[in-house]
Amino acid sequence: MSSKLKQILIATMLLCAPFAAYGASKAIENKPLTEQAQTPYNQLQELDQHYVAQAKDHYDAVASGVITTNTLLAAETAQTQETFFNEKMKGILEPAIVAARGMELDELKPALQAQGLKASIHYATTVTNEELSAIILDVVSSPEQVMIVQYDQSFVSMHDGVTYGIVADYDVKAQKVLIMNVNPAQKKLNWIKVDQFLKGMKALNQDHCPRGFIIVSKPVLDVG
């Protein structure tokens, strides 16, 4: 990741913790899978190989975490939504709590770290359309990173409620981001205009904090 993008990401951090939920359906533009990839590195293809739909109503963060973990770590034994709750994860949240009310961004971050990944939270308050576009393009162009997003779907005319998804691609010319959904009742892939998407992340939760995203990356190996 470039130093400029790192500065952008650091500048977006706030001490807030949004709440995750999900809701029912309306549809937006979607293209066939074979027509999706817009960047040289096809992150969509990599993510799709490890795709799972959420197993329970409030498991959108869990399913997104499982897809991300399996994509970045590529272990011989694929992680499941059950094994996501390893001993470290259970020290953060028990499965029953997640099933009852979902996960917040500041809970998903340590959950991903419990899987052996690096993760950093970035809230959308001060992010501009241009900055978000640059961040997304940087992430989808790299096999070392995945971007999990939390946003209010009603702001993108797609569904009602807040959910987690994964950024799968970016169309520079059209200024659209491809979101991979994990809710089995919704379309799996949706193209969303960046400005609408950012509005969905800037929408405040019940604690008056914005939603945002987590940049997840492979761990740095200790070669010392």
Q: What are the pLDDT digits (tens) for 13-56?
A: 433 433 333 332 333 344 444 344 555 678 999 999 999 999 99
Question: Distance between CA 142 and CA 139 in Å, rounded?
Answer: 5
Cβ atoms of residues 220 and 186 within 8 Å: no
CA distance 19 to 62: 14
Q: What is the pLDDT of residues 174-189, one digit of tens each?
A: 999 999 999 999 999 9
Those residues whose C-beta lies under 8 Å from the C-beta of residue 205, and which sit 6 or more positions away, are 16, 18, 19, 162, 211
Tell me how many degrees the CA angle 23-155-113 measures, rounded to the nearest 5.
65
Please, are residues 68 and 166 in contact by the beta-carbon 8 Å criterion?
Answer: yes
Residue of 158, 53, 168, 163 lying closest to 108 (CA atoms)? 163
Beta-ladder partners of 192: 177
Q: Per-residue confidence of the chain (224 residues) as pLDDT tens digits? A: 555 555 555 444 433 433 333 332 333 344 444 344 555 678 999 999 999 999 999 999 999 999 999 999 987 789 999 999 999 999 999 999 999 999 999 999 999 999 999 999 999 988 999 999 999 999 999 999 999 999 998 887 667 788 999 999 999 999 999 999 999 999 999 999 999 999 999 887 777 777 899 999 998 665 44
What does pTM read for this prediction? 0.81
Using CA atoms, how far apart are residues 151 and 213, in angstroms rounded to an integer? 9
Closest CA to 69 of 183, 169, 148, 185: 148
